[in-house]
């Protein structure tokens, strides 16, 4: 399984942000009322829950792997299929989070120029929290991937590089 690249996540974030910002400008310019799709209050909450789940999984698996490595009696091992599923869940969450955070980031940047309207000010705050929670998801997913990296992976990468 290939390791998730930070460059891929950054490009996804930036492209989604630019497209979202451009779409927001286009919608406001076309519509005389200046209506935009709203940033739901649930967006940062859902992203924060996903980040917490990824972090809890990473911490749990790290302690189980450490106990298994130290040959603690009665230690519960980590099944390879479960570890692979956790990594895939983390990678998928990071990619989707980069996309969603980019959309909310672009919309938030657009809303920064319209802070005189109270409703748009609230939307900008929600967008900022969504971006922060999305970055937390990405960080937790990368931590989970690091926890579940096989020792052989480090040797083969250093030999190739």
List, for residues 55-77, the tens digit of each pLDDT value: 999 999 998 888 888 777 877 87
Confidence of residue 12 (pLDDT cuts 50, 70, 90): very high
Rounded alpha-carbon distances, angstroms, from residue 4 to 8, 12, 129, 132, 141: 8, 12, 24, 20, 9
Burial class (CB within 10 angstroms; exposed 0-12, middle 13-18, buried 19+) of 151: exposed
Assess contact for 4 and 145: CB atoms under 8 A. yes
What is the pLDDT averaged over residues 117-127?
87
Model pLDDT, residue 160: 43
If you average pLDDT over every residue of the chain, what do you get?
87
> In the chain, where are the structural domains located?
80-150
Stated pTM of the model: 0.85
CB atoms under 10 Å from CB of 114, counted, come to 16
């Amino acid at each position: 399984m290939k390791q998730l690249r930070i460059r891929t996540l950054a490009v996804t974030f930036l492209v989604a942000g630019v497209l979202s910002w451009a779409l927001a400008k286009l919608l406001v310019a076309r519509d005389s009322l200046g209506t935009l799709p709203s940033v739901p209050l649930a967006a940062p909450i859902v992203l924060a829950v996903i980040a917490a789940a990824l972090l809890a999984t990473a911490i749990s698996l790290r302690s189980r792997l450490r106990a298994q490595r130290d040959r603690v009696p009665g230690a519960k091992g980590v099944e390879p299929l479960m570890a692979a599923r956790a990594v895939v869940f983390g990678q998928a969450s990071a990619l989707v989070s980069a996309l969603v955070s980019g959309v909310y980031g672009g919309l938030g940047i657009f809303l920064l120029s319209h802070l005189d309207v109270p409703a748009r000010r609230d939307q900008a705050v929600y967008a900022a929290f969504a971006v922060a929670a999305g970055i937390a998801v990405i960080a937790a997913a990368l931590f989970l991937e690091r926890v579940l990296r096989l020792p052989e992976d480090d040797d083969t990468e250093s030999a190739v590089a």
